[in-house]
Chain A
Amino acid sequence: MSVAARGIKNTFRNKVRGSAVVLVLAVVVGLTLSMLVANEAVAARLASVHEQLDTTITAAPAFEPGAEDVGLLTADQLAQVKGLDHVATASGTIGGMLEQPKTEEEEQAGGGPKIALGGAMGGAKGTTDLESAIDGVKMGAPEGMKFPVQVNGTDDNLNGRGEPLDVTDGRALEAGDDRGAVLSDKLAEKNGLAVGDTFMAFDETFTVVGIAATTEEFDSVGVAMLAPTVMELGDVEGYNSIVAQVDDVDNLASVSDAMGALFGGAVEVRTESASALEATTGLATVDRITWMGFLICLLCAAVIVFFTLALTVRERRKEVGVLKAIGGTTRGVIAQFGIEAVTLVLVATVLGLGVTLMTSNMIADVLVTTNTPAAAAAGQDMVGGGGRVMKTVGPDGEEPKTASDLIGEVTAGLGGENLALGVLCALGIALLGSVVPAWLIARVRPAEVLRGE
């Protein structure tokens, strides 16, 4: 009979005690694995939510009716934003409005029904032969009301919301496109324009180099030009928004705070992922709780193995002495008891897997539910320090309902990887629990066998 066979046989030498220890250990090992499985599920969901979160921060002069116009953001401020830690890219955009020249009849009628051309908070303004794609009547505006066309000057092919233009035909704007433009598909359709066609703006002729998909009724129903072109022709200097991309969603809050401090209260700093990020802090808490739970359960299992083995070694002290007396090495005897520990833990692990299957999802569910904050109502902006506005948007850009909606469902599954990890944990428990008993074995002197006769 080999050392291994003897070790396995010895595990259940005392059937009642062996079974009781295995059952208790099975529950603890099961909980250990449950915590591990729940932790992995939560960590995976957390990573997934983070991946989906938008890392864009937009800074724009605060606009309040009656308040003093703070002017445009400067190139220096753009450079300062670019220099902030964790800012991957930053670019400025200058917005503006283009209106069709008034007809003679409209001049005579005192201007006619038309939206006032406010210059979009200090932005550019000019004339165009483009007709707005906005259906005013559908929106409840009086018949005949003309809407201006929004123009967006950009260095990096961004739309008015700081999102990349989705060019579906032609190409994006390139350096040197001083009289080139990308039109939204709705605007191009309204005006019967295609790539290569021309239109008038700022009393200059522009060529359509690309058509971009319209994603939002107002922001994208417009035309994109290079920022220097809009500044030059619109006679403005500066940007009315700066869009920064943060390197990691975890740095969103710190960069947002840094930008808030940089601009002061007169500039709104917005991040659309703020509430989603807040919801994920609950998930991060669960991540930590399950990890701690895993370590505590692992320690408990090791303590159970330790006491069981320590008791066994004490009880079988004489046997240890005899084995040494008849030629067994200390290492061999320790190996025998180590195999007993491994057998004990492996049997408990097999049973514990059942506990894991039953409890892992429940544990993850309870922890996620109790640690997820009730989110802000749909569409409600959250105001941060310095008057910064943080708009609540779900991870996929949908309107949010609760934090749970943002997080989605966390499903804990016992996969092959977890199973392998479970076996490794079991071996770790056996190893941890065997260290002191092994030391006790090493201390047993075979002479004690004779002395006890």
Chain B
Amino acid sequence: MLQVKDVVKRFKSGGEEIAAVDGVSLEIPDATFASIVGSSGSGKSTLLALMGALDAPTSGTIQVGGVDVTALSPSKQVAYRRSRIGFVFQQYNLVPNLTALENVMLPLEFAGMKAGERKARALDLLRQVSLSGAKLGRLPGKLSGGEQQRVSIARALANGPEVILADEPTGNLDSRNGKRIVTLLRDLVVAKKTTVVVVTHDRSVANRADITFSMRDGKIVHTKNRGV
């Protein structure tokens, strides 16, 4: 269960304090495909960052599997992100001078896995996202957007996370590749019992989620549950 309770995140902007997330509370059960929708500046990406312990809330708590991630020390937050969270970004954010295979091996290296084991694991993960052969040795710049996003998903899955947080994962993709990526993420929920939280503008992506939270001005204004 991912529980967000009374979370507030304020920033100072031009001497003025603004609440990017303003008293949000929500619950996402395990093995759920959830989406957060809203216009630009509604606070959805900030909320995702808070869930992933990439940032600390001004107030409120976030619990993942019963652990209050907001109370973790910085080093434990790193360990939390490494072992329990997988990130998928709109711009893929692959390291440009590492091959597809090396990019997937990176979090495994951070987790302290031996070189031989991490290569085998990375190859398996890339196979799961339908990437193999010569493409594994290519640099991200030599891969298509869809292929890069699949490498990104394989990287997010590397350490077997409980939760995958995806920020506009289809934002840079055409509709065909977008659908493939969403299908891939949905399959993870079923096959690996992973909780997937997707931030999106795209209604078609949101409509495929089990639960959708609509945000406006830092608040959850609507929740649509499709039978969780």
Contacts and interface: CB of A to CB of B under 8 A. Distances in A.
B87 interface: yes
Contacts, number: 77
B147 interface: no
Interface in A1-38: 1-3, 6, 9-10, 13
A9 B106 CA distance: 14
A327 B89 contact: no
Given A325-B54, A326-B106, A6 B98 contact: yes
B98 A1 contact: yes
A13 B87 CA distance: 25
Given A1-B98, A332-B110, A453-B167, A327 B159 contact: yes
A451 interface: yes
B45 A450 contact: yes
B48 A319 contact: no
Interface string A301-333: 000000000000000001100111111110010
B111 A450 contact: no
Given A1-B102, A449-B93, A324 B45 contact: no
A387 interface: no
Contacts of B59: none
**Size band of the interface chain A makes with B:** 20 to 34
Contacts of A3: 109
Interface residues of B, number: 35
Contacts of A451: 45-46, 49
B150 interface: no
Interface string B95-134: 1111000100111011100010000000000000000000
Looking at A3, A325, A329, A449, which has the most chain B CB atoms within 10 Å of its CB? A325
Given A325-B81, A327-B159, A329-B78, A449 B89 contact: yes
A1 B109 contact: yes
Contacts of B75: 329
Contacts of B186: none
A419 to B, nearest CB: 32
Interface of B: 45-46, 48-49, 52, 54-55, 75, 78-79, 81-83, 87, 89-91, 93, 95-98, 102, 105-107, 109-111, 115, 155-156, 159, 167-168
Interface of A: 1-3, 6, 9-10, 13, 318-319, 322-329, 332, 445-447, 449-451, 453
User: What are the nearest 9 A-B pairs in CB distance?
Assistant: A327-B82, A447-B55, A327-B110, A447-B54, A322-B93, A447-B49, A446-B54, A450-B49, A453-B90
